Amino acid sequence: MRGRLVLAASLLLSGCASTEVGEPAEDHLQVIVGTSDGAESETYRLECDPPAGSHPEPGAACAHLAAMDDPFAPLPDDVACTQQYGGPQTANVLGRWAGEPVDVVLSRTDGCRIAQWDGLGPLLPGPVG
C-alpha cells in the first residue's frame, strides 16, 4: 500500500513539474526611462512571443530586437567615443532576452552611448521630460 502511495505522489508531482502555467515568457523586459536631472521616470513592461505589455509599441520593439544580433551587448572597453552630449535621457533595461539575463544601463552622455541608445530603436519609447 505504501509503495502505491509513493508511486501516486511521484506521478502527481512529475505531472505538475511539466506544466508551463505561470512560467515567464523567454523574452520579457522591464524598461525604465528617465532623465539624469531627477525627473519622474516611466516604466514599461515588454513581452515578446506574442508581443504584449505596457510598452507603447510592443510589436515594433520585439521585431526590432529580434532582428539584432546582440541588442544588449556591452560597449567595448577599448573604443574611443566622441565627447558629445545627447541629452539627459537615461534608461535601465532588466529581464531576459533570448534566454539570457539582461541588466543594462543606458544614457546619451557620449557618442558611443548615443549610438547604443539609438540602435535599440523602438524599445526606448522616447525621452521623459
> Which residue, 91, 86, 88, is CA-closest to 102?
91
Give the separation between CA 3 and CA 36, rounded to whole angstroms.
64
Going residue by residue through the chain, which has 129 residues, state the pLDDT in tens, using 9 for 90 and above. Answer: 444 433 333 333 334 333 344 555 588 999 999 988 777 889 999 999 999 999 999 999 999 999 999 999 999 999 999 999 998 999 999 999 999 999 999 999 999 999 999 999 999 966 544
DSSP category for residue 53: S
Judging by beta carbons within 10 Å of its beta carbon (0-12, 13-18, 19+), is residue 46 exposed, middle or buried?
Answer: buried
pLDDT at 36 (0 to 100) = 80
Predicted model pTM: 0.76
CATH code at 23-123: 3.30.350.10
Instruction: Give the pLDDT score at 93.
Output: 97
Distance CA 114, CA 110 (A): 6
pLDDT of residue 43: 95
Instruction: Determine how many CB atoms are found less than 10 A away from the CB of residue 25.
Output: 15
- Sequence ranges of the domains in the chain: 23-123
Q: What is the pLDDT of residue 64?
A: 97
pLDDT score, position 25: 55
